Structure 1
Amino acid sequence: MGVRGLQGFVGSTCPHICTVVNFKELAEHHRSKYPGCTPTIVVDAMCCLRYWYTPDSWICGGQWREYFSALRDFVKTFTAVGIKLIFFFDGMVEQDKRDEWVKRRLKNNREISRIFHYIKSHKEQPGRNMFFIPSGLAVFTRFALKTLGQETLCSLQEADYEVASYGLQHNCLGILGEDTDYLIYDTCPYFSISELCLESLDTIMLCREKLCESLGLCVADLPLLACLLGNDIIPEGMFESFRYKCLSSYTSVKENFDKKGNIILAVSDHISKVLHLYQGEKKLEELLPLGPNKALFYKGMASYLLPGQKSPWFFQKPKNVITLDKQVISMSSDPESRQEVPMCTDPESRQEAPMCTDPESRQEVSMCTDPESRQEVPMCTDPESRQEVPMCTGPESRQEVLMWTDSESRQEIIMYTGHESKQEVPVCTDPISKQEDSMCTHPEINQKLPIATDPEFKLICTNPEIKQEDPANMGLEIKQQVTMVSDTEILKVARAHHVQAESYLVYNIMSSGEIECSNTLEDELDQALPSQAFIYRPIRQRVYSLLLENCQDVASTCPAVKEWFVYPGNPLRHPDLVRPLQMTVPGGTPSLRILWLNQEPEIQVRRLDTLLACFNLASSREELQAVESPFQALCCLLIYLFVQVDTLCLEDLHAFIAQALCLQGKSTSQLVNLQEADSMSMTSGEDTSCPPGPGS
């Protein structure tokens, strides 16, 4: 995530915002200012992969021990000066960011096509200027850092929000990354990973206070600026005409600045001289051409508010409070404005979001994110997205109906909240399937929470956990968790493993039934080698049946998992709906409670049987057990690959086995200087436990 044009603006137009600092000196100052507090840097690990992966021969992936050595040196250097590192990794893609995620994946596809064109044209790998992160590097990096004893966390929402929140809440020394959003968040200092000299521990600090001085703004104005310029929530084209209107009336256009630089200066000037003039007197939507995009705009603004923070551009205190079933709905009671702006705060994520309703535009929005289910429940109508979100509030029955509609999957969810009434809210049906389904009952009010879904994608709804929120802190908190798995204990275990970066994608499957896989180095013109998305799909399908335990009953209808996998020819307009595939395990498929929570020695045998069943290799159990333990997983993978891909030949098998057997015992320096026999024909890296390479 980042603000359009801000990185270039800072580098070319306002270089004084960037200050050379030394981490050792900063740590010493931090210790003197906060005695007994260890200086801590929050590392946005996804921004650092390019910095850590330095091998010149990158096209085939691999160089695992060389990469691990670089990570070890990185950690040691900071540890030596008494600095603690906390590493954050992306754990999911928020629905509001899906379009931007797709756009970047398609852009990456074009970059990968140019890489393969270069290889075919020049018969050599391209230079670092065309560098693309080897497949699977982020996942491998998590486990490498854990091996080095580092605290490694995986996000349950947008990673940069969690990084900024952690830095603020724990009084950290700063954030190390490469994302202009860290200039927008009102959090601890932001340092550039690309400018870091590890030997001296010098880098560049980007100062948001100096940025504000240059733009004539205050820190609280930066989220507004970011949304008007465009970010991952607000499309760049949404305010394009507004920006050019600001530019046309801006009197201080400087010829030596680039166009984007002048636009940033012009929009900032408009905020400071026009919007500030009416701040507190007029509502923001009266000052900006929001139109049908009002809901999206407020959501973009709210996404920058960290725990405990408020925005001067939102109404801050509720004038009236209505309490419904341990819920607090705070509303503006101004009859003149005909506008309601409650702030929604989740006590775990502590994120505040506005709700705005306008009878004329029929647009309502209330963004409340549950950090466990990661589901955002908006109430809005956007004529462009075709999302209909009716909301009915009755003072007599004190009931409210919230509906969220997914225009892609035709999925509709109604959540009912009532105070005294026992009335059942009508079920909303899919207009195509005409199917009705009521699956969840509130334990306290005996009220059905109906869910109408596309039959291709049924959901299982768990009971809502509703807590009291202090009206002074703004309040509507509905922890309504709609998940694919109803066992709350197992969900908590999966969530804990996810947060601690001990598993990958498992919690996303169990909670939302939706996963994604980014770009891999695959040649879209090579029809002989199938994409890894298809090669490993049968394994994923068997894993789905294991995670979604209700699918293990033959009579049950298995829900489909939404897969956003990048592969040649996939435009990513819709996810692939992939159904679980039943597997055969000796003695029956064990439950997740047995596999995860039972520590009896005999369970290890059942875990092995389940693993082999995922690869469909139950019949090869005896042969695999005869192989030394470190190579059993390799054998499973090779057998599976050669069954799935008929274009692999004996030489490919020899190459895989040679890497596993012949490179053992070689030092990192020996491996660095090792020459590939034929680097352009290799399908994986140079080391025994390397991340997969192109097409693998």
Structure 2
Amino acid sequence: MGVKGLQSFMDRCCPEACVTVNLREMARQHVAKGQQGCTTTTNINSPTLVVDGMACLRHWYSCKDWVCGGQWREYMDVLKSWVEAFTSAGIRLVFFFDGVVEEQKRQEWVKRRRRVNREVSKIFRHMKAHGEQPGRELFCLPSCLATFTCFALRSLGQEVFCSVQEADYEIASYARKHSSMGILGQDSDFIIYDSAPYLSVAKLRINSLTTVLYDRQRLCRTVGLAVNQLPLLACLLGNDVVSEERMQHIRNDAMATYRINNPTPHSGAPQGQMVLAVSHLVSSLWGREEEETGLIPQSLNLSAPHRELLKRGICSYLLPGQEACQRRDISAPTSGPAFEKHVSPEVLKTCREKHVAADGFMVYSIVCEGVTDCSNTLEDEEDAELLPQALVYKLCRQHIYGLLLLHGHDGSSVDLPAIREWFVYPGNPLQEPDMVHPVPIGLSCGQPSLDLLWFGTGTEISALRLMSFLSIFDCQEFSELYGAIEDSLLAALCLVTYIVLQVPTLSQEDLDAYLSQAVCLRLKSPQELQQIKLPFLCSRAVQLGSLYVRGLSHLLGANCASGYPLPSAALMPWHSFDGRLFHSKYLLAHSGTEKTVLLDSDSSCLSLFLCLKEKLTETCRRRGRVLQSRPSAPEESHQTTPGPRYRERHTGGPPGGGGSWRERGETTAGHRHGGGWRERGEARGDRSEYENRERGGGMRGGQHFHPQPDSYPKCHDGGQENTSRTPKQSRGRSCHSRGRYQLAPRWSQPPAPGT
């Protein structure tokens, strides 16, 4: 959220309310005063700063490269230094991240996504014209930065929360309840909340720990309002709940009255005059109607719907203990289906706990709300040959939904749950969500119980978790590699295999780039990764990099749904991906570089690479997917308009897989060529299609491959092997009767990331 023009008004027209503060000194003063009224006994003497994590992402990600998918190891170093700057000053940090998009704010979310889409188009046009990354004026955060930052901060020992409602509201509530020394963020709503002091992260100087405090008391003195009148001011100016357009007539009347009473123009900007005009209106209304409850004076010229909207906006700022109305009563109810009947009460409780602790991903929104969303990704809308990530990972998500919701389902279409997906991709106008049905995972023992996966104990359950996870990506054969290679490499192999199976235009060279960078990354320091020189940027490689990182987030969701067969730390991008390294490997692979050079002339890396590639290609071959070699000439890789040779090399595919994804009908909206699934009234990969595959009618769903003990050789890479493993003879071998296993009282989980 944010109040239109309020913070710029304070910066330009109310400098006395913008106070430069030293956070070290502020912390000392906070300790000296004590934390009077704190409702908790923990950390009662520690000065606490509540951090709006979403607002900090652009300031944290200061790495030079951002367009190639992220320099994740360097980013980890930045986060570590940032946290240490505060902890060395004795300041405790508590981080909050957005966990949901409230339905009443969905349209504002859609507007922002469309705006970013236009910026993404400019980024790709710049890269194709110049072969280089654009300047910071077109800066776009790497995909999934917020998701992985939560895990990164937890691995650094920080307290991290993921919101279950509007994050700003939870931040302000926490800060007020715990008498925190301040809120660090970049949102003018924190001026409106009657909570802890609002400190600007944009003006933070990390070396000196100085920033600007926006003082709401001084603002009120300047504009002639009381603190409890600020919510009405915010809604009349416009915010995420009450749009500017809905209150335009009120502001017009206020401005007309202000100009009559103040014939000498204010020295500030026009928006400054607007803030003053609306402030005078609010003040005058309150003076005449002191009997009002503090919400909306009756004399305001409002229709009944506008009055209700304004009430909802005002109440969104009222924190616990301040409410004149209950926030839950004025918040728009979620419109999703109730999925309680599909899961046990213990599963619901655990979903929420994991979500709030930023220790899960995707599961809470699916099980508890029936909705999931995904923001913008660096995807070239003019490239009709690469599938958008939302479509690439759709089947994976359907399998996750199936694992979460279909256990115990009789397989009929009656009462089958559907998830509302709000995913941003080329051709999707975001006018409505895509309704996506779950698909069962392909285990020979049938759909496992979620309670068994999450709370069961024993080696057989561990094997079942692993097989469930691998089945989501159609990689059951890789169970033999568990323990033979690092967990992060196993996860990378599953992800690349899935991408190859889902994207028919992927080539041998693309595969080599993916696998070589995953293998070589383990031997690179952050400094070495920063020093990688790229002769130019290829827009296709940029999109493939973002596709991979989005896939890592789906690995997280699958791992969480399966009961954590792999430690979360193994799925973090700093263990398996670096944007600059991937881009360099892509350019080398497509230029025909020898495999020895591609693997940095390291024999152990080359051996591991060849082993992984053999497993992948054999798995794909069994599913009818044969990769072809289609190198692109380096000098043609960043043409503004790809020539015939470039397009021939990039767009060819295996038999039956040619043509653009739009021409194949693999889109949910917008571009229509050749009768896509929406015209047929079904979703790509919908339930009926995959039911046929489960019965043996299709290559992927109906094939249950059971690896033999000696199917694969060991793939030791010379590094340290994983310990504390399930005994090898039980890995992925069988799925026995559920009745043999006992349930543990709590979620069976791995060590926290970073341990």
Query: Is the shorter-chain TM-score for this pair beyond 0.5, marking a shared fold?
Result: yes
- The 2-side partners of 1:30 and 1:258 are apart by 36
Alignment match of 1:684 (pick from 527, 545, 565): 545
Shift of 1:532: 0.3
Structure 1 residues 383-402: aligned runs within 5 Å: none
Pairing 1:267–2:278 present: yes
Note if contact 1:275-1:287 (Cα within 8 Å) is conserved in structure 2.
Answer: no
Paired with 1:255 and 1:31, the residues of 2 have a C-alpha distance of 41
Q: Which amino acid aligns with 1:287?
A: S
1:142 aligns with one of 147, 150, 162: 150
What SS is found at the alignment partner of 1:602? helix
Structure 1 residue 621 and structure 2 residue 508: aligned?
Answer: no
- Taking the TM superposition and a 5 Å limit, the aligned residue runs for 1:157-236 are 157-236=165-244
Deviations 1:575-631 (A, max 9, x none): 000000112224232211111112323311111100111012224433666544331
The amino acid of 2:285's aligned partner reads V
- One-letter amino acid of the structure 1 residue matched with residue 279 of structure 2: S
Q: Partner of 1:576 in structure 2?
A: 434
Residue 680 of structure 2 corresponds to none
Q: Which residue of 2 aligns with 1:82?
A: 90
Using structure 1 for the length normalisation, give the TM-score. Answer: 0.74
**SS in structure 2 at match of 1:60:** coil
1:111 to 2:119 alignment: yes
SS at structure 2 position matched to 1:161: helix
The structure-2 alpha-carbon separation of the partners of 1:262 and 1:119, relative to structure 1 and needing over 3 Å to count, comes to same
- Which residue of 505, 510, 518 maps to 1:660? 518
**Residue 559 of structure 1 corresponds to which residue in structure 2?**
417
Are residues 1:288 and 2:303 paired? no
User: Tell me, what secondary structure is at the counterpart of 1:665?
Assistant: coil
Structure 1 partner of 2:333: 376
Question: How far has the Cα of 1:674 moved from its partner?
Answer: 2.1
Residue 691 of structure 1, CA deviation: 7.4
- Inter-partner Cα distance in structure 2 for 1:70 and 1:110: 29
Give distance in 1, aligned partners of 2:400 and 2:323.
Answer: 43
Percent identity reads: 44
**Residue type at the aligned position of 2:377:** T
Aligned letter for 2:13? T
Distance 1:198 1:115 in 2: 30
Q: Partners of 2:250 and 2:337 in 1: how far apart?
A: 42
Residue aligning to 1:28: 28
Q: Tell me the distance in 1 between the aligned counterparts of 2:205 and 2:431.
A: 42
2:438 and 2:132 map into 1 onto residues whose CA distance is 41
TM-aligned CA deviation for residue 494 of structure 1: 0.6
Q: Assess, with a 3 A threshold, how the Cα gap between structure 1 residues 217 and 118 changes in structure 2: closer, same or farther.
A: same
Structure 2: which amino acid aligns with 1:237? E
Q: Does 1:590 align with 2:603?
A: no
Which runs of 5 or more structure 2 residues have no equivalent in the other structure?
36-43, 547-572, 587-755
Partner of 1:303: 316
1:3 matches 2:3: yes
Residue matched to 1:50: 58
- Whether contact under 8 Å (2:49, 2:184) holds in the other structure is yes
1:344-381 superposed Cα distances (whole Å, 9 cap, x missing partner): 3xxxxxx4x7xxxxxxxxxxxx42x6xxxxx738xxxx
Tell me if structure 2 keeps the 8 A contact 1:23–1:201.
Answer: yes
Match of 2:137 among 126, 129, 135: 129
Contact 1:134 1:691 in 2 (8 A): no
More strand per residue: 1
In the alignment, residue 305 of structure 1 is paired with which amino acid? L
Residues 271, 619 of structure 1: CA spacing in aligned structure 2 closer, same or farther, 3 A cutoff? same
Q: For 2:296 and 2:7, how far apart are their aligned partners in 1?
A: 27
Which residue of 2 is the match for residue 647 of structure 1? Answer: 505
Letter in 1 for 2:525: S
Aligned-pair Cα RMSD in Å? 2.3
- SS at structure 1 position matched to 2:95: strand
Q: For residue 458 of structure 1, report the CA deviation from its aligned partner.
A: 5.5
Alignment check: 8 A CA contact 1:88 1:154 kept: yes
Secondary structure in structure 1 of the residue aligned to 2:422: strand
Give the Cα–Cα distance (whole angstroms) in 1 for the partners of residues 292 and 185 of structure 2: 39
Partner SS state of residue 287, structure 1 = coil
2:490 to 627, 632, 638: 632
The verdict on how the C-alpha distance between 1:691 and 1:501 changes in structure 2, with shifts beyond 3 A counting, is farther
Deviation at 1:130, TM superposition (A): 1.2
Match of 2:268 among 253, 257, 260: 257
Q: Which of 378, 385, 390 does residue 528 from structure 1 map onto?
A: 385
Q: 1:544 to 1:551 in 2, by over 3 A?
A: farther
Q: Distance in 2 between matches of 1:505 and 1:79?
A: 31
For 2:296 and 2:165, how far apart are their aligned partners in 1? Answer: 27
CA contact (8 A) 2:169 2:319 kept: yes
Q: 2:289 & 2:214 partners in 1: Cα distance?
A: 30
2: CA distance between counterparts of 1:173 and 1:537? Answer: 44
SS at match of 1:31: helix
Residue 553 of structure 1: how far off its partner (Å): 2.7
How far the C-alpha of 1:486 sits from its partner, in A, is 4.5
Displacement of 1:551 after TM fit? 6.7
* Aligned partner of residue 421 in structure 2, secondary structure: strand
One-letter amino acid of the structure 2 residue matched with residue 23 of structure 1: L
Residues 102-161 of structure 1: CA deviation (Å, up to 9, x unaligned): 111111111111111211222211011211111111111011011101111100100000
Between Structure 1 and Structure 2, which shows a larger proportion of helix residues? 2
Q: 1: distance between equivalents of 2:389 and 2:134? A: 23
Cα offset, 1:48, TM superposition:
0.3
- Aligned residue for 1:152? 160
* Structure 2 CA distance for aligned equivalents of residues 586 and 205 of structure 1: 61
Partners of 2:147 and 2:420 in 1: CA distance: 21
What secondary structure, in the 3-state scheme, does the structure 1 residue paired with 2:398 have? helix
Match of residue 547 from structure 1? 404
Q: Which position in structure 2 is the counterpart of 1:38?
A: 46
Residue 367 (structure 2) aligns with: 510
Is the partner of 1:684 in helix, strand or coil? helix
User: Matched residues in 2 for 1:677 and 1:594: separation?
Assistant: 52
- How has the CA–CA distance of structure 1 residues 256 and 118 changed in structure 2, closer, same or farther, with 3 Å as cutoff? farther
Once the two structures are TM-superposed, the CA of residue 552 in structure 1 deviates from its matched residue by 4.1
Structure 1 portions without partners, runs of 5+: 312-342, 345-350, 354-365, 370-374, 378-405, 407-456, 461-482
Deviation at 1:255, TM superposition (A): 4.8
Paired position in structure 2 for 1:15:
15
Deviation at 1:659, TM superposition (A): 1.6
Equivalent residue runs for 1:401-550 within 5 Å: 459-460=338-339, 483=340, 485-550=342-407
The one-character-per-residue Cα deviations of 1:14-45 (angstroms, maximum 9, x if unpaired) are: 22221111111011111111175100000000
Return 538-547 or 291-300, whichever deviates more.
291-300
Q: Would you say the 8 A contact 2:131–2:537 is kept in 1?
A: no
CA separation of 1:497 and 1:158: change in aligned 2, threshold 3 A: same
Change (3 A) 1:294 1:661: same
Q: SS in structure 1 opposite 2:31?
A: helix
Q: Is the 8 A contact 1:562 1:578 kept in 2?
A: yes
Shift of 1:58: 1.2
1:441 aligned residue? none
- The 2-side partners of 1:512 and 1:541 are apart by 16
SS of equivalent residue, structure 1 residue 529: coil
**Rounded Cα–Cα distance in structure 1 between residues aligned with 2:423 and 2:341:** 20
Shift of 1:641: 0.5
Aligned length: 540
The residue that corresponds to 1:442 in the other structure is: none
